[in-house]
Amino acid sequence: MFNIVSLIIGAVAFICALVAFIPLLGWANWLIIPLAIIGAAVGMISRSTSGRNLNLFVIVIGVVRLMLGGGIL
Protein backbone atom coordinates (compact mmCIF):
# COMPACT_ATOMS: atom_id res chain seq x y z
CA MET A 1 0.00 0.00 0.00
CA PHE A 2 2.72 2.46 0.95
CA ASN A 3 4.64 1.57 -2.19
CA ILE A 4 1.66 2.47 -4.39
CA VAL A 5 1.29 5.82 -2.61
CA SER A 6 5.01 6.43 -3.04
CA LEU A 7 4.82 5.57 -6.74
CA ILE A 8 1.91 7.97 -7.25
CA ILE A 9 3.76 10.77 -5.46
CA GLY A 10 6.88 9.97 -7.49
CA ALA A 11 4.99 9.97 -10.78
CA VAL A 12 3.43 13.36 -10.03
CA ALA A 13 6.79 14.77 -8.97
CA PHE A 14 8.47 13.32 -12.09
CA ILE A 15 5.91 14.90 -14.43
CA CYS A 16 6.33 18.23 -12.64
CA ALA A 17 10.11 17.87 -12.87
CA LEU A 18 9.83 17.39 -16.62
CA VAL A 19 7.79 20.58 -16.85
CA ALA A 20 10.38 22.37 -14.70
CA PHE A 21 13.01 21.71 -17.39
CA ILE A 22 11.37 24.45 -19.48
CA PRO A 23 13.50 27.60 -19.25
CA LEU A 24 12.42 30.04 -16.51
CA LEU A 25 10.46 27.33 -14.68
CA GLY A 26 13.41 25.95 -12.72
CA TRP A 27 12.11 27.57 -9.55
CA ALA A 28 9.45 24.86 -9.47
CA ASN A 29 12.14 22.40 -8.38
CA TRP A 30 12.09 24.07 -4.97
CA LEU A 31 8.56 22.65 -4.63
CA ILE A 32 9.20 19.34 -6.40
CA ILE A 33 12.18 18.26 -4.29
CA PRO A 34 10.28 18.38 -0.95
CA LEU A 35 7.39 16.50 -2.58
CA ALA A 36 9.80 13.79 -3.72
CA ILE A 37 11.38 13.68 -0.24
CA ILE A 38 7.93 12.99 1.23
CA GLY A 39 7.41 10.28 -1.38
CA ALA A 40 10.78 8.72 -0.56
CA ALA A 41 9.90 8.73 3.14
CA VAL A 42 6.63 6.95 2.40
CA GLY A 43 8.53 4.53 0.16
CA MET A 44 10.92 3.66 2.97
CA ILE A 45 7.99 2.34 5.01
CA SER A 46 7.04 -0.23 2.38
CA ARG A 47 8.81 -3.51 1.67
CA SER A 48 9.27 -2.80 -2.03
CA THR A 49 11.89 -0.30 -3.16
CA SER A 50 10.50 0.87 -6.49
CA GLY A 51 8.60 3.87 -5.08
CA ARG A 52 11.56 4.97 -3.00
CA ASN A 53 13.92 4.63 -5.96
CA LEU A 54 11.64 6.65 -8.24
CA ASN A 55 11.49 9.47 -5.71
CA LEU A 56 15.26 9.41 -5.20
CA PHE A 57 15.66 9.67 -8.98
CA VAL A 58 13.33 12.69 -9.06
CA ILE A 59 15.31 14.32 -6.24
CA VAL A 60 18.54 13.88 -8.20
CA ILE A 61 16.94 15.33 -11.35
CA GLY A 62 15.65 18.33 -9.38
CA VAL A 63 18.96 19.00 -7.68
CA VAL A 64 20.90 18.76 -10.96
CA ARG A 65 18.42 21.12 -12.63
CA LEU A 66 18.79 23.61 -9.77
CA MET A 67 22.59 23.43 -10.06
CA LEU A 68 22.43 24.03 -13.81
CA GLY A 69 20.14 27.02 -13.36
CA GLY A 70 22.07 28.56 -10.50
CA GLY A 71 19.33 27.79 -7.97
CA ILE A 72 16.71 30.07 -9.49
CA LEU A 73 16.22 29.58 -13.20
Q: Residue 44 to residues 28, 62, 65, 69, 72: CA-CA distances in angstroms?
A: 25, 20, 25, 30, 30
pLDDT in tens, 5-38: 999 999 999 999 999 988 888 889 999 999 999 9
Question: What 3-state DSSP class applies to 20?
Answer: coil
Taking a C-beta distance cutoff of 8 angstroms, is the pair 29, 20 a contact?
yes
* Residue 72, pLDDT score: 73
Q: Give the N- to C-terminal CA distance of the chain in Å, as an integer.
A: 36
The mean pLDDT value of the chain amounts to 93
* Residue 73, pLDDT score: 67
Question: Distance (Å, rounded) from C-alpha 61 to C-alpha 46?
Answer: 23
Mean pLDDT (whole number) for 45-71: 92
Question: Distance (Å, rounded) from C-alpha 44 to C-alpha 53?
Answer: 9
